[in-house]
């Protein structure tokens, strides 16, 4: 059987990882500043993470969700405390799209409505409901899960004030737009969303799948604005590569049996991985590291003249290039052995491990100097 060919893949097969580094089959060493779309939060092959997973593998507990699993409670307690949401409730699932799907469904249950406000250039995942709230006509299927979505320009207060009515079930917004090119919602815009949602009885969903888990220097990107959303979705960095997702649900939303469900969500290995990630983030002070290295990079990147704009917070950064440098990402990979990401048409995305070191951050800056001097 052949694989269904839907991903553009680099012809590189990693066989070993350590910290921010990867090795391929031929023994080439790569600096990973992308972490498989922000997935690698605490670094490749972290010993504490591997130990927790191996410890779990040695047990017999691979059962899915019909018996008690106290690891889920441990994870909920830790996540609540570290994220600053001790009173929210946690629903565990397997991916970011699934988390958003469940959040949209919850909003519909709670409000009895189906209209949703989303934002231009948003990306919320590829399942039917999540993709319907994604502003990319190329990947939206001709039907969706039944929500009616209106897309508004990010940070346009006038457009939002007009669109937010009593018919709206939910407003869904990324903490920082990732796939859309690292676009930041203004703090005052998020405050407006929070206030208006309360006024009309809509739920505010903060998609922190890419921007969350300490990447910005706070646990969730929206926490810079001081708001408390009804629903927060998370995945990617949560498991450092192990598939896991979650929805943090405000205390006033009451569950009932069968309201949501899952076979694999919150399985033992996913919990072991997620607990290990939180322990490492806390013990190694990775949020602080993300913030200071992010500030350092942003400052330095602004000094390169062919870079027209640098956007981001902590270690979620995008920088725009002038046209002649559009092949830069491939040069970084094939000439300098540095993985980065992209957002079309000309943004390079940096989403490294939160344990990145300063000398590793400098390797990118040196490579950029070489490439930019050659072309200038
Ligand atoms: N939400 C955001 C902001 C994302 O960036 C992504 C993936 O890139 C998703 C949701 C979907 O996550 P997953 O691919 O785990 O379903």
pLDDT value of residue 374: 78
Q: Which atom of ligand 1 is nearest to the CA of 174?
A: 3
338 and 198 in one domain? Answer: no
Q: Which atom of ligand 1 is nearest to the CA of 211?
A: 3
Average pLDDT over the chain, rounded to an integer: 94
- Residue 352 is assigned to a structural domain of this protein: yes
152 and 94 in one domain? Answer: yes
Q: What is the pTM of this model?
A: 0.97
Name every residue whose Cβ is closer than 8 Å to that of residue 108 and which is 6 or more positions away in sequence: 114, 147, 169, 170
Report d(CA 309, CA 296) in Å as an integer: 15
314 and 228 in one domain? Answer: no
Which H helix or E strand runs over 89? strand 89-93
Give residue 123's domain range. Answer: 49-283
- Residue 8 is assigned to a structural domain of this protein: no
238 and 110 in one domain? Answer: yes
Which residues' Cβ are closer than 6 Å to ligand 1?
Answer: 37, 95-97, 100, 123-125, 174, 178-179, 207, 209-210, 235
Q: What is the mean pLDDT of residues 201-210?
A: 98
Q: Which atom of ligand 1 is nearest to the CA of 178?
A: 5
Lowest mean pLDDT among 115-124, 167-176, 321-330: 321-330
pLDDT value of residue 62: 67
What is the tens place of the pLDDT at every residue in 336-371?
999 999 998 889 999 999 999 999 999 999 999 999
- CB burial readout 225-259, b (16+ within 10 A) else e: bebbbbbbbbbbbbbbbbbbbbbbbbeebeeeeee
Residue nearest to atom 1 of ligand 1 (CA): 124
Among 104, 99, 125, 100, CA closest to 116: 104
pLDDT value of residue 61: 62
To 5 degrees, how large is the angle CA 175–CA 178–CA 184? 50
Which H helix or E strand runs over 233? strand 231-234
Among 174, 184, 44, CA closest to 96: 174
**Best mutation site among 236, 238, 343, 351 for ligand 1 pocket (most ligand atoms within 8 Å of CB):** 236
365 and 218 in one domain? Answer: no
Residue 295 — very low, low, confident or very high, per pLDDT cuts 50/70/90?
very high
Q: What tokens were used for 112?
A: 């009895």
Which H helix or E strand runs over 232? strand 231-234
Q: Which atom of ligand 1 is nearest to the CA of 179?
A: 5
Q: What tokens were used for 37?
A: 């779309």
Given a contact cutoff of 8 angstroms between Cβ atoms, the answer to whether 307 and 301 are in contact is yes
Report d(CA 292, CA 4) in Å as an integer: 41
Write down the residue that tokens 């407003």 correspond to. Answer: 171
What is the tens place of the pLDDT at every residue in 14-73?
999 999 999 999 999 999 999 999 999 999 999 999 999 999 988 766 666 777 889 999
239 and 94 in one domain? Answer: yes
pLDDT value of residue 373: 75
171 and 209 in one domain? Answer: yes
156 and 95 in one domain? Answer: yes
pLDDT value of residue 7: 86
297 and 236 in one domain? Answer: no
**If DSSP codes are grouped into helix, strand and coil, which group holds residue 75?**
helix
Residue 375 — very low, low, confident or very high, per pLDDT cuts 50/70/90?
low
98 and 227 in one domain? Answer: yes
Report d(CA 317, CA 167) in Å as an integer: 36
185 and 106 in one domain? Answer: yes
What is the tens place of the pLDDT at every residue in 70-99?
999 999 999 999 999 999 999 999 999 999
How far does residue 123's CA lie from ligand 1's centre (Å)?
7
Q: What tokens were used for 38?
A: 């922000």
- Cα separations in angstroms, 78 against 90, 219, 303, 304: 11, 12, 40, 41
Given a contact cutoff of 8 angstroms between Cβ atoms, the answer to whether 166 and 107 are in contact is no
**Helix ranges restricted to H, the chain:** 35-38, 47-57, 70-83, 96-111, 128-132, 157-163, 187-200, 268-283, 286-301, 328-334, 358-375
Given a contact cutoff of 8 angstroms between Cβ atoms, the answer to whether 55 and 47 are in contact is no
pLDDT above 90 covers a percentage of the chain that reads: 85
- DSSP tag of 186: P
Name every residue whose Cβ is closer than 8 Å to that of residue 66 and which is 6 or more positions away in sequence: none
Among 233, 135, 120, CA closest to 175: 233
pLDDT value of residue 195: 98
| Residue after which a domain boundary falls, among 252, 283, 314 | 283
299 and 173 in one domain? Answer: no
Q: What is the mean pLDDT of residues 294-316?
A: 95
């Amino acid at each position: 059987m052949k694989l269904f060919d839907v991903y553009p893949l680099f012809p590189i097969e990693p066989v070993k990882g350590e910290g921010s580094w990867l090795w391929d089959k031929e023994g080439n060493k790569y600096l990973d500043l992308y972490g498989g779309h922000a997935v690698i939060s605490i670094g490749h092959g972290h010993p504490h993470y591997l130990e927790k997973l191996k410890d779990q593998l040695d047990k017999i507990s691979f059962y899915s969700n019909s018996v008690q699993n106290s690891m889920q409670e441990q994870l909920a307690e830790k996540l609540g405390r570290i994220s600053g949401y001790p009173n929210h409730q946690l629903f565990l699932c397997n991916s970011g799209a699934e988390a958003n799907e469940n959040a949209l469904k919850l909003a519909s249950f709670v409000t009895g409505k189906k209209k949703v406000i989303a934002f231009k250039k948003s990306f919320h995942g590829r399942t039917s409901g999540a993709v319907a709230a994604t502003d990319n006509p190329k990947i939206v299927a001709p039907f969706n899960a039944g929500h009616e979505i209106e897309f508004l320009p990010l940070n346009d207060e006038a457009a939002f004030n007009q669109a937010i009515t009593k018919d709206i079930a939910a407003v869904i917004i990324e903490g920082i737009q990732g796939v859309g090119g690292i676009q930041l919602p203004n703090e005052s815009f998020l405050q407006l969303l929070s206030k208006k949602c309360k006024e009309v009885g809509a739920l505010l969903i903060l998609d922190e799948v890419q921007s969350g888990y300490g990447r910005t220097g706070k646990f969730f990107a929206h926490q810079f604005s001081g708001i408390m959303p009804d629903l927060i979705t998370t995945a990617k960095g949560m498991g450092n590569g192990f598939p896991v997702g979650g929805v943090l649900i405000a205390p006033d939303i009451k569950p009932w049996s069968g309201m949501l469900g899952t076979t694999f969500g919150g399985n033992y290995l996913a919990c072991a991985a997620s607990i290990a990630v939180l322990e490492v983030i806390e013990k190694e002070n990775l949020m602080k590291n993300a913030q200071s290295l992010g500030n350092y990079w942003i400052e330095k990147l602004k000094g390169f003249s062919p870079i027209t704009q640098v956007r981001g917070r902590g270690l979620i950064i995008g920088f725009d290039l002038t046209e002649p440098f559009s092949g830069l990402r491939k040069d970084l990979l094939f000439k300098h052995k540095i993985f980065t990401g992209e957002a079309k048409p000309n943004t390079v995305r940096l989403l490294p491990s939160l344990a990145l070191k300063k000398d590793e951050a400098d390797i990118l800056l040196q490579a950029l100097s070489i490439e930019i001097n050659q072309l200038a």
